[in-house]
Amino acid sequence: MALRSMTSPIFRLATINVHGFQNARFQNNLNELISILKPLNLDLLAVEEVDKTNGWQKFCQELGLNYFQFETSYNRYCGNGLASKYSIQSTSSQQANVSCSGGQRSILQCRFNDEHPFLRNHLFAVTHLDHLNEDHRLKQIKQFRPNDKQIDVLLGDFNALTRDDYSDKYYQNIVEGKRRQSGWELPRFDLTDLLTNTWKYEDVFRIANPELKDEDVVTCEYGTRIDYIYIQRKVLQKWNLTKCEIIDTKGATDHNAVLAEFQLK
C-alpha cells in the first residue's frame, strides 16, 4: 500500500498600502487590487491607508479573508487593517502621541484563534509611520514598543529605508538625488537599524533575497523600499521562510505589495 504523502502546513501573508482604495486618478481601485491579490491565496493581509467607507468589507471578503479588524489612524474612517482566514481572538490599538505635520499614526495588534499552527501564540501588528521625518518615525515606533510587547510579526508601510537595498550609484542618483531635488529629508537608516540590530527583528525580504538591489526592491513610486514584513527570530526556529517577494500592483495603488510564505519545519 502506498503511503499518503504528508505536507507541512504553509502560511502566506502580505502587506499593502491601498491608498484609500483610490488609484492615481482618484478612481476606485478595489477590483484591480482584488484581481492582483486573490491569486496569492493569502492567510493574512495587513493593510495601510484603509478607507473604511470605500469598500473595506468587500475587499476582505472577496479575498476570502472573512475575519477583519480596522483601527482608525488619521480620522474616523481612515487607518490600518488586518484581515485573515482565521477568526480573531483579541485586538488592541495605540495611537502615537507625537505632534508632527505628517498626521496621526497608530498600530493595530491582533491575536488569532489557532486554527492554523502559524497563528499559535503569535501576536501580529500593522502600522504606518510618518512619511516626512525620520525623527518622528523613531518616536512613533518607540512609543509602540513592538519588542517589549512581544509582537512576533510586524508588517506595514514604515516609510523607512535600508542602506543595503541600493548600490552606490543608485543611492546617489535615485535615493539621495531625488530627495535633494525635491527638498525632502535626506536618507537615514536609524529606524530599520533599530528594528533589526537593536530589537533583533528579521527583515524577511532581505533574508529571502540577499542579492537584490535597486529597481528589484522598489515598493513605492519614488524608487525605494519602504514596505516591510518583520518577524522575531524565535518564529524562524519552527518555520522556514520559503518565499518573500514584491508583488507589482501595476499602478492600482502607489505601493507594491510584499508577500511572504512560511512552511512548518
pLDDT > 80? residue 2 = no
What is the arithmetic mean of pLDDT over 130-155?
97
The string of pLDDT tens digits covering residues 210-219 is 999 999 999 9
- What is the spatial distance between Cα 42 and Cα 155, in angstroms, rounded to a whole number? 14
Q: Across the beta sheet with 106-112, what order do the strands follow?
A: 88-95, 106-112, 124-128, 153-157, 227-232, 201-203
Spatial neighbors of 149 by CB under 8 A, at least 6 apart, are 109, 123
- What is the spatial distance between Cα 232 and Cα 163, in angstroms, rounded to a whole number? 21
DSSP state of 76: T
pLDDT band for 157, please (50, 70, 90 cuts). Answer: very high
What pLDDT sits at residue 29?
96
The string of pLDDT tens digits covering residues 106-122 is 999 999 999 999 999 99
pLDDT > 90? residue 154 = yes
The string of pLDDT tens digits covering residues 17-41 is 999 999 988 899 999 999 999 999 9
What pLDDT sits at residue 24?
83
What is the arithmetic mean of pLDDT over 69-85?
90
- What is the spatial distance between Cα 219 and Cα 225, in angstroms, rounded to a whole number? 5
Which residue has 502600522 as its cell numbers? 127
* Cα dihedral sign, 139-136-195-243: positive
With residue 138 as reference, give the H or E element that holds it. Answer: helix 134-144
Residue whose C-alpha is closest to residue 14's, from 87, 107, 85, 111? 85
- What is the spatial distance between Cα 257 and Cα 216, in angstroms, rounded to a whole number? 13
Is residue 5 packed enough to be buried (19+ CB in 10 Å), middle (13-18) or exposed (0-12)?
A: exposed
With H, G, I as helix, E, B as strand and everything else as coil, classify residue 115: coil
The string of pLDDT tens digits covering residues 6-23 is 578 999 999 999 999 999
What pLDDT sits at residue 27?
93
Which residue has 514604515 as its cell numbers? 158
Is residue 182 packed enough to be buried (19+ CB in 10 Å), middle (13-18) or exposed (0-12)?
A: exposed
pLDDT > 90? residue 5 = no
pLDDT > 60? residue 187 = yes
Percent residues over pLDDT 70 in the chain = 98
Contact between 203 and 227 (Cβ < 8 Å): no
Write down the pTM of the prediction.
0.95
- What is the spatial distance between Cα 110 and Cα 206, in angstroms, rounded to a whole number? 25
pLDDT > 90? residue 155 = yes
What is the arithmetic mean of pLDDT over 220-226?
96
pLDDT > 80? residue 246 = yes
What pLDDT sits at residue 6?
55
Contact between 126 and 82 (Cβ < 8 Å): yes
Radius of gyration of the CA atoms of the chain, in A = 18
pLDDT > 80? residue 140 = yes
In which region does residue 198 sit, left (phi positive, over 0), alpha (psi from -120 to 50) or beta (all else)?
alpha
